Structure 1
Amino acid sequence: MENGDIRPKNNQVNKIYLPIIIAIALAAGVIMGNFFNVFSGNRTFISKSSHKNKLNRLMDFIESDYVDNVNTDSIVDLTVNNILEKLDPHSVYIAKEDMQQVAQSMKGDFVGIGVNFYMYKDSVAIIKPVPQGPSDKAGIKAGDRILFAGNDQLYGRKLPNDSLFSKLKGEEGSSIELTVYRKTEGKQFKVNVVRDIIPIKSVDAAVLLDNKTGYIKINRFAETTYQEFHKALLDLKSQGAESLMIDLRDNGGGYLEMAVDIADDLLQDDLVIVKTKNKKDREDITYSTDKGDFENGKLYLLINENSASASEILAGAIQDNDRGTIVGRRSFGKGLVQREMPLGDGSAVRLTVARYYTPSGRSIQRSYAHGGDEYFNDFSKRYESGELYAADSIKIADTLKYKTLKGRTVYGGGGIIPDLFVPMEGKHGDEGVSMIMQSGFVSYFVFEELDKQRKEFSFLNEKEVADKVLNTDKYYAHFAKYISANGLIFDLAKHKQRVKFYIAAEFVKQLIGDSAYYKMVLGEDNMIKAVLADEKK
């Protein structure tokens, strides 16, 4: 996919305040992830409210009589945002210019040339072509630079990502001539690439962790998620999987229907999956059907503080029906359902239209009575309270007790509490290292290291790549200088081996592939270790 990211500039960050930064990242992910809890529906209605007339007249007065020329569109956007902020944290406005990108991310595919790239030294550098995608088939390789798309020069112009996307995307089957520079061979050449449909995967990985344990990682619930999940499930079963881990960590949600379909594959017939209740107290109850392909066998769902909405619907259905074990840390706590409503000018609102409840009747929605800022800063509270490191620090009101199908006590009012608690990696206060080692910084760093010496790695297998990186301190030292040059202050020395491990894993990812990367990192994942240990009991 055309996935462009800009590397942070030197001195962009003077000091890291980790709880704040992580909380901001969490809030952004949950806001974006929760736009899509119900498929869009077109509705037309007429309001007789005098308030609407008041707003219309005010805009007319501003346009006709205000002393200066103003952009009334921006005023309207601001007004809409202010109104929605008074409702709840998840009712949001999507500007016209953002609609295509938002819709595309949940559609599951787009038409393009099929490359992951980022702007490196003001040139379009290919991190990796999508396997079997148009660019891969045309012979474009990792490390190549795209100099021209047709007659449009792409280098040396500081083009924003949206401009680059528009030059690389097009109609399915259309052709574009690219001028490419291959650094490893010191040559420039032209190649025609035929644009095609490029999948945007919502299932990041589906691997067998041992002879009988399958693992599926879902990053969001998009239109194609159930299709991807079901294929992965059948593939793992054909390889001998008898137990299954579904990783919902950092999954901020998506289409409710996709979570329901996955739950249906996992539950026996005629069990409640989810309940929704709207403004008029109309309750809709969704039940499992007879279509399940993994109704037996051990099941584990992995969650953390970033797992929200559709992820919580799936986790709640599994927990309340005593179907499997929820592993990890308390989930985000988002129990509101949105519907997209077009505003007629290309923009839209995602308006909260219902609340959802788990099969036992609990709402896991956290309070937002004190506004959006405090609501989305909940991560900081969890960090400060020690909840991310100790299960007994989780504070939930005793009055919000519910019973599962077999009579176990579960709680509402603030996310899904796991059955098996696993703390954050490292010690309290060491979050920064884990965060930076799983961020884009490592990806950019490894690309730039490979760019200097790609030929040295050309014919190495997965183990040889990892050993080459792990058996030297060179890349660790380079990385320490790299993050320092980008304004990030970390004491990496006491985490040296972990830093080296994640750097080696990223080398494997870029050179070998995603499956090899996941097999490597999952072997050192504390939640995975906890599940494998629990399986043996």
Structure 2
Amino acid sequence: MENKTSTTFSKQKKYLPLWIGLALAIGVLIGSKLNFSDKTEKIFATSSKKDKLNRLIDYIDYEYVDKVNTDSIVDVTVYGILSNLDPHSVYIPKKEYQHSADDMRGAFIGIGVSFYIYKDSIAVIRAIKGGPAEKAGIKGGDRIIYADGKKLFGELIQRDSISNYLKGEINSKVALDVYRPSENKVLEFKVRRKQVPLVSVDASYMIEDGLGYIKINRFSETTFREFESAHDKLKDHGVNRLVLDLRDNPGGYISTAERIVDEFLENEKLVLITKNKSGEINKTYATRRGDFEHGRLYVLINENSASASEIVAGALQDNDKGTIIGRRSFGKGLVQREMSLGDGSAVRLTIARYYTPTGRSIQRPYGKGNDTYYNDYEKRYRNGELIHADSIKVADSLKYTTPKGKVVYGGGGIIPDVFVAKDTSVENETLQFVSRSGFMSYFIFEYLEKNRTQFNDMDFEDFRRNFKIDKSLSEEFIEYAKFNEAQIDLTNYAEELRRTLKANIAQQLFGPNEYEIILNENDPMLLKVLELEANKPIAEN
């Protein structure tokens, strides 16, 4: 008996590793199916929809006749799924995620320069104010030729690889060799990488006594702090009326928009309503911390003001605070949440709808597909609403009333209180495009390459008052534009062209704030603000 038992035990011992391995394999298989956020009855449930996709990808991986990058197939699949939801549920691939995250975070880790790949080298346009490069002494026009001994010039230079050498871990150092054309010598710098702000408040300045101006280009994590700082400086100059420019602002974080609205509304005023799939309703109210509750306010919007911009404009309009000036906004009333997909990519998925304080939804219909949805500008152009306020179509069924009796409408965008028509001429639209797209800035950089020294001892006020764009420079740009296949004749827009050229020079010499100051000198919406100001007593709120 003893021998038989010993023999049996020996056999069991022999197969013990096999049994342990099998048990572990079963455990891993079961574990892979578990979702610990699910209820118990769902844990062992299978999903035929998920299995179908997984099996198809496996078949292609192991059986398909040609080699296929299944990662790209997954990307296409994700894009396809999201395209069938709504226009604002979007996929962010891994290679684009860091840039997107930096943009929303409002900062990146680097040396703080804006640059061109000019001919075969990195040409610094401007060192960002307060950034590591500026503090080290790097200037506009400098060429960065080596970073930690790595050559950064030549025919094969690529912008993405350059950024990899200039960006890095916070507080890490990079040794730069910089050629300065104006001195015809190579300088050596050791620059410590720091957090460099991606500015979302483009400009803040006094238009006239008591009347301030703040322009916000998006709502990132840092926007409220930037806004608060800009507003504090304006208060030091005695601001009691304010222009908030949200034109061409595509939106961003709702929480940032709510904090900015809070600066203007009294305690317990309703700011925003959101409603999710299950019907859960959340309401946000203003607090006691508002810093501009009694000043006169103007908000500028246009057809490209969207999302968080519309939350701000809608909350103020529905609470009878300020005057909304411009044209009907984009019309986005959906809330997204960013969710990681586990491989460095992410999805921004629509999780709720939002409503302004009167209860109106400003989301435009999107049932006819994304192309139709995003081509709405052409429709607005054709029906005349960019030129005539009475061409804006509204539905009585979507009419709401503010506490003071003002009628407002839902159904697609914020309709301004005061309409300002758009100059829809091809020449003017093209001029705006070449100014803000960067097309003109390359021309200006080449101009400054030849003339930079004449601005060495000139501050912005001196530049603004005394520097004039001569006719030859305007004509040179027109020829440059024709050479680059723009094929436009800007002869009838000579004054606007000169102003735009001067604004672009100011941007490269002094920064975005000074660019906006000059560009706004004859701006139709700001002229409307001044017209309204002239007809109102100072004491009126």
Aligned match for 2:471, one of 470, 473, 477: 473
Match status 1:228 vs 2:236: no
Contact kept, 8 Å, 1:465 with 1:507, in 2: the verdict is no
Change (3 A) 1:468 1:293: closer
Gap change, CA 1:187 and 1:429, over 3 Å in 2: closer
Residues 306, 503 of structure 1: CA spacing in aligned structure 2 closer, same or farther, 3 A cutoff?
A: same
User: Which digits, 9 at most, give the CA deviation of each residue in 1:390-445, with x for residues without a partner?
Assistant: 11111122321111121211111110000011112465774223322333112111
Deviation digits for residues 362-392 of structure 1, max 9, x if unmatched? 1000011110011011111112222111111
Query: Counterpart in 1 of 2:445?
Result: 447
Change (3 A) 1:319 1:60: same
- Which is further off, 357-366 or 484-493? 484-493
Alignment match, 1:482: 480
Q: Secondary structure at the match of 1:503?
A: helix
Corresponding position of 2:245: 247
Whether 1:536 aligns to 2:534 is yes
Q: For residues 285 and 466 of structure 1, what CA distance do their matches in structure 2 show? A: 46
- Whether the aligned pair in 1 keeps the contact of 2:435 and 2:504 (CA below 8 Å) is no
Rounded Cα–Cα distance in structure 2 between residues aligned with 1:300 and 1:380? 28
Aligned residue for 2:522, secondary structure, equals: coil
Distance 2:320 2:377 in 1: 28
How far off is 1:523 after superposition? Answer: 2.0
Structure 2: how far apart are the matches of 1:428 and 1:146? 39
Residues of 2 paired with 1:515 and 1:52: CA distance?
A: 51
Output the CA distance in 2 between the equivalents of 1:107 and 1:374: 31
Give the alignment of 1:87-98 within 5 angstroms: 87-98=85-96
Q: What SS does the corresponding residue of 1:217 show, helix, strand or coil?
A: strand
1:24 alignment partner in structure 2: none
Contact 2:82 2:89 in 1 (8 A): yes
Q: Which residue of 2 aligns with 1:162?
A: 160
**Per-residue displacement from partner, 1:129-166 (whole Å, max 9, x unpaired)?**
01222111111111011111112111114333221111
Report if aligned partners of 1:469, 1:500 keep a CA contact under 8 Å in 2: no
Distance 1:495-1:79 versus aligned 2 partners, 3 A rule: same
Larger radius of gyration: 2
Structure 1 CA distance, aligned partners of 2:368 and 2:388? 26
| 3-state SS in 1 of match to 2:108 | strand
Distance in 1, matches of 2:121 and 2:37, equals 47
Distance 1:466 1:484, change over 3 A: farther
Within 5 Å, give how 1:101-500 maps onto structure 2.
Answer: 101-425=99-423, 427=425, 430-462=428-460, 465=463, 470=468, 472-500=470-498
Aligned amino acid, residue 344 of structure 2: G
Residues 212 and 240 in structure 1, CA contact (< 8 A), matched pair in contact too: yes
Change (3 A) 1:70 1:427: closer
Residues 429 and 480 of structure 1: is their aligned pair in 2 closer, same or farther, counting only changes over 3 Å? Answer: closer
Unaligned runs of 5+ in 2: 1-35, 536-541
Q: CA deviation at 1:268?
A: 0.8
Post-superposition offset of 1:128: 0.3
**What SS does the corresponding residue of 1:423 show, helix, strand or coil?**
coil
1:337 is aligned with what amino acid? Answer: V
Check whether the contact 1:341–1:350 (CA below 8 A) recurs between aligned residues. Answer: yes
Conserved? CA contact 1:90–1:336, under 8 Å: yes
1:365, 1:471 → 2: CA distance?
A: 44
TM-aligned CA deviation for residue 457 of structure 1: 2.4
Q: Name the structure 2 match of 1:57.
A: 55
Deviation at 1:468, TM superposition (A): 6.7
1:176·1:192 contact (CA, 8 Å) conserved in 2?
Answer: yes
Q: SS state of the match for residue 470, structure 1?
A: coil
> Is the Cα contact below 8 Å between 2:502 and 2:518 reproduced in 1?
no
Q: 1:289 deviation in Å?
A: 1.1
Is the 8 Å Cα contact of residues 138 and 192 (structure 1) preserved in structure 2? yes
Q: Give yes or no for contact 1:335–1:356 (8 Å, CA) kept in 2.
A: yes
Task: Summarize the Cα distance change of 1:158–1:303 in structure 2 as closer, same or farther, 3 Å threshold.
Answer: farther
Q: For 1:259, give the aligned amino acid.
A: A
Whether contact under 8 Å (1:466, 1:505) holds in the other structure is: no
Residue in structure 2 matched with residue 5 of structure 1 by the alignment: none
**TM-score, normalising length: structure 1:** 0.89
SS of corresponding position for 1:275: strand
Query: How far apart are 1:183 and its partner, in Å?
Result: 0.9
The alpha-carbon distance between structure 1 residues 479 and 280, as it changes in their structure 2 partners (threshold 3 A), is same
Aligned-pair distance for 1:509?
A: 2.4
- Is the 1:150–1:177 contact (alpha carbons within 8 Å) kept by the matching residues of 2? yes
Counterparts of 1:463 and 1:203, CA distance in 2: 21
Residues 373, 182 of structure 1: CA spacing in aligned structure 2 closer, same or farther, 3 A cutoff?
same
Secondary structure of the corresponding residue to residue 358 of structure 2: coil
CA shift for structure 1 position 309 = 0.3
Measure the CA separation in 2 of the matches of 1:124 and 1:339.
37
Amino acid at match of 1:517: Y
1:519 CA displacement? 2.4
| Deviation digits for residues 229-283 of structure 1 (CA, Å, limit 9, x no counterpart) | 1122222122100011111001000000000011111101111100000011111
| Equivalent in the alignment of 1:505 | 503
Ranges in structure 1 where 5+ consecutive residues have no aligned partner? 1-42
Q: What secondary structure does 2:338 align onto?
A: strand
Aligned length: 496
Partners of 1:477 and 1:468 in 2: how far apart? 21
What one-letter code is carried by the residue in structure 1 that aligns with 2:99?
A: Q
Structure 2 match to 1:85: 83
Q: Secondary structure at the match of 1:266?
A: coil
Alignment TM-score, normalising by the size of structure 2: 0.88
- Aligned with 1:523: secondary structure? helix
Aligned to 1:20: none
Alpha-carbon distance between aligned partners in 1 of 2:112 and 2:80, rounded to the nearest angstrom: 39
Cα separation, 2, equivalents of 1:216 and 1:471: 27
Coordinate RMSD, CA, aligned:
1.8
Report the Cα distance in structure 1 between the residues aligned to 2:169 and 2:217, rounded to whole angstroms: 27
Match of 1:13 in 2: none
Paired amino acid for 1:398: D
Contact 1:433–1:490 (Cα < 8 Å) also in 2: no
Q: Partner amino acid for 2:421? A: P
The answer to whether the 8 Å contact 1:425/1:434 transfers is no
Which of structures 1 and 2 has the larger relative contact order (alpha carbons within 8 angstroms, sep 6+)?
1
1:189 positional shift: 2.2
